[in-house]
């Protein structure tokens, strides 16, 4: 019977296996920190394998900074953490499919690698802009285990998790780049093949962020650099130019599979259509029929009604073959101008385009998507106080949800959740069209300053504000449309990042002799509940954290069934045979027990045999 790892995936080891499958001759061995041999990559040989010429020197076109390699190592390094359920902070725990996760988003992203690999349709983040006045995550790549244990929460030189990155810092841009780079590396793994990520940013780091995204997502997957007119009115105190815009970078996971969502047509857009020839099919607009890509089949003269012979412009040809042109000419879909002497253009009827919607533009005006003051007012009205500076307006978030082209059951992730604008937008979108989209919010529980308005209102950290916003926004949405939102999911399961459920002995057996191991009663920490252990197993098995589950008593033992048999777990001591047989007869996909649930190896062998007989396809593990 195998033991569960109870730690996040070792991304480095996985990457080495993938490279080895393609280039087995590039796999070598090296000694690890523990002195044991482990697989490694011969990068010189791999570089040569990927080049048609002899590779000499180390010059290359690349974007780099101090700490980049450490950021890559940190992103790939496994952690011994878990997510602990917090039912008392949750809303509709038993039925909701939404998640609110409290903790360092780098570590949370690592823990989600199995359960949400390739399952997130859209990611939106609004990270620190690195203005010199905001805070960024203090990722320390060389902490000892003692420092790790002492610094589980938020830290800097004053034991705070975040630090103010002022422009006097010699690694001002480097620290920010390292922070965002490692998180985007992990985030990309979670996107579906047709998924998309949106990142809000301003002028301070937009150039660096785009280079990082080109590297992480691939420059070919760049969709757009959207410009958001965020300022309702210009500032008169600007030194040079009153900056009234921010950016939203948009990248697809795979540009060949991503389909952009189109916008509803507006009255202004429809007003551009007319009907100068009284075509019975209604109003229309004409477009050019010449293209740059040359095709000999499409290079032919056209005779206008006036008798004028018209050739394609120099270096171009018509977009239609002669046969296709004549078909459209006969159907009165070619326009030569009111005098019949103009260059031919193709007629596009509004009735044909209404179902297609409008192509989005790269500039988002505040009259269409809201401005920063509007976002602040929305939060202030909901929470009876202005606790956030710069929350994104709902109209902007709705525009991004539309561009992402979400399906009715898509999952949306925001790992810089802040005021939870994204969760609010997802619930509103579902209320509008009856969808069942799910959200996952991730936020570090940054403490509110004791002098702040939020602290005085009773909010000790940002997570408390975000969760309350979701509660109130959900209630407001349902109260405004009670008949159509009866089944709307406005709940969320709260999970909190914590250290592993297992005692250190579980992870460092070489540090203990056999006698010491035998003397230990349990490898699980005393303060952990069955629910803690269940959700820890879900992370390792790669199961979504939002599925329904039941708990029942069988022969004095508590048995947990997750999502109708995706996993059945029992964490009691001294589990009798009848409980093991009952679980096996249900033939779950997976079963898990405590290592200490059985008295010695014979009992474990008996469990293995029971499952071989009654449920041969069930994977059985112990923790």
575 and 548 housed in the same domain = yes
25 and 57 housed in the same domain = yes
Whole-model pTM?
Answer: 0.85
Q: Quick check: 414 and 440 in contact, CB under 8 A? A: yes
In a domain, 98, yes or no: yes
86 and 173 housed in the same domain = yes
- Which residues of the chain carry a pLDDT beneath 70? 52-60, 133-136, 138-164, 167-170, 354, 505-521
588 and 457 housed in the same domain = no
458 and 602 housed in the same domain = no
Distance CA 3, CA 604 (A): 12
363 and 435 housed in the same domain = yes
The residue from 302, 329, 350 where one domain ends is 350
In a domain, 503, yes or no: no
412 and 493 housed in the same domain = yes
569 and 454 housed in the same domain = no
Q: Quick check: 391 and 379 in contact, CB under 8 A? A: yes
The H or E element containing residue 318 is strand 317-318
Given this model, what pLDDT does residue 158 score?
43
255 and 326 housed in the same domain = no
In a domain, 506, yes or no: no
Q: Are strands 493-499 and 162-164 parallel, antiparallel or unpaired?
A: unpaired
The residue from 296, 327, 350 where one domain ends is 350
Given this model, what pLDDT does residue 139 score?
64
Q: Hey, which residues does 248 pair with through a beta bridge?
A: 200, 226
249 and 122 housed in the same domain = yes
Query: For residue range 595-611, what is the model confidence (pLDDT) as tens digits?
Result: 888 888 888 899 999 99
Given this model, what pLDDT does residue 563 score?
97
In a domain, 141, yes or no: yes
Given this model, what pLDDT does residue 521 score?
63
Q: Which CATH number fits the domain that encloses residue 460? A: 3.40.50.150
Q: What is the DSSP letter of 418?
A: T
Give which of 121, 85, 164, 93 is closest to 531, Cα–Cα. 85
Q: Quick check: 428 and 395 in contact, CB under 8 A? A: no
Q: What is the DSSP letter of 9?
A: -
The residue from 439, 465, 497 where one domain ends is 497
Q: CA 83 → CA 141, 208, 423, 496, 609, distances in Å?
A: 22, 32, 20, 5, 33
| Locus of tokens 């200490």 | 596
Given this model, what pLDDT does residue 556 score?
95
560 and 489 housed in the same domain = no
In a domain, 1, yes or no: no
Q: How many domains does the chain have?
A: 4
165 and 230 housed in the same domain = yes
Domain residues for 28? Answer: 8-61
Q: Hey, which residues does 439 pair with through a beta bridge?
A: 412
């Amino acid at each position: 019977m195998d033991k569960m790892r109870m730690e996040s995936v070792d991304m480095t080891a996985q990457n080495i296996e993938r490279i080895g499958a393609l280039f087995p001759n590039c796999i070598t061995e090296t000694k690890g920190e523990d002195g044991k041999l482990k697989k490694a990559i011969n990068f010189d040989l791999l570089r040569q394998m990927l080049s048609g010429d002899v590779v000499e020197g180390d010059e290359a076109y690349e974007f780099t900074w101090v700490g980049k390699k450490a950021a890559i190592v940190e992103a790939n390094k496994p952690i011994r953490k878990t997510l602990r359920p917090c039912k008392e902070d949750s809303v509709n725990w038993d039925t909701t499919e939404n998640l609110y996760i409290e903790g360092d988003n780098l570590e949370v992203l690592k823990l989600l690698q199995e359960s949400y690999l390739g399952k997130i349709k859209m990611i939106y983040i609004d990270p620190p802009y690195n203005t010199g006045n905001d805070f960024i995550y203090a990722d320390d790549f060389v902490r000892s285990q003692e420092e790790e244990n002492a610094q589980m929460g938020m830290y800097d030189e004053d034991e705070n998790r975040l630090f103010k990155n002022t422009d006097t810092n010699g690694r001002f841009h480097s620290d920010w780049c390292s922070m965002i780079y490692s998180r985007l590396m992990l985030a990309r793994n979670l996107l579906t093949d047709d998924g998309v990520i949106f990142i809000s940013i301003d002028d301070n780091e937009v150039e660096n962020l785009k280079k990082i995204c080109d590297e992480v997502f691939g420059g070919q997957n760049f969709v757009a650099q959207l410009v958001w007119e965020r300022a309702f009115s210009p500032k008169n105190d600007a030194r040079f130019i009153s900056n009234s815009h921010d950016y939203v970078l948009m990248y697809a996971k795979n540009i060949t599979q991503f389909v952009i969502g189109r916008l509803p047509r507006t009255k202004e857009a429809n007003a551009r259509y007319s009907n100068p020839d009284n075509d019975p099919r209604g109003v229309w607009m004409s477009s050019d029929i010449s293209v740059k890509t040359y095709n000999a089949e499409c290079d032919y003269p056209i005779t206008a009604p006036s008798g004028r012979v018209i050739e394609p412009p120099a270096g171009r040809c018509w977009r239609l073959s002669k046969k296709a042109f004549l078909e459209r000419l006969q159907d009165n879909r070619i326009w030569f101008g009111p005098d019949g002497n103009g260059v031919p253009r193709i007629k596009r009827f509004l009735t044909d385009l209404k179902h297609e919607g409008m192509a989005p533009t790269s500039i988002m005006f505040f009259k269409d998507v809201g401005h920063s003051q509007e976002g602040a007012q929305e939060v202030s009205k909901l929470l009876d106080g202005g606790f956030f500076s710069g929350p994104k307006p709902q109209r902007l978030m709705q525009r991004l949800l539309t561009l992402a082209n979400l399906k009715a059951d898509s999952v949306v992730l925001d790992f810089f959740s802040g005021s939870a604008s994204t969760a609010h937008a997802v619930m509103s979108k579902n209320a509008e069209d009856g969808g069942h989209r799910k959200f996952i919010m991730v936020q570090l529980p940054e403490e509110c300053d004791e002098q702040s308005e939020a602290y005085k209102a009773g909010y000790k950290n940002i997570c408390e504000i975000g969760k309350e916003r979701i509660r109130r926004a959900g209630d407001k949405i349902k109260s405004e449309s009670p008949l159509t939102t009866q089944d709307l999911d406005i709940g969320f399961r709260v999970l909190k990042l914590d250290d592993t459920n297992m005692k250190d002995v579980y992870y460092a057996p070489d540090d203990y002799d056999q006698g010491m191991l035998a003397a230990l009663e349990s490898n699980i920490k005393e303060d952990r509940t069955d629910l803690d252990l269940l959700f820890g197993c879900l992370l390792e098995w790669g199961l979504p954290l939002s599925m329904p589950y039941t708990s029942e008593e069988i022969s004095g033992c508590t048995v947990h069934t997750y999502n109708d048999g995706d996993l059945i777990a029992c964490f009691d001591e001294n589990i009798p045979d009848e409980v093991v047989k009952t679980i096996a007869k249900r033939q779950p996909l997976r079963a898990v027990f405590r290592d200490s649930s059985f008295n010695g190896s014979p009992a474990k062998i008996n469990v293995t045999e029971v499952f071989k007989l009654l449920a041969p396809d069930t994977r059985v593990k112990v923790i």
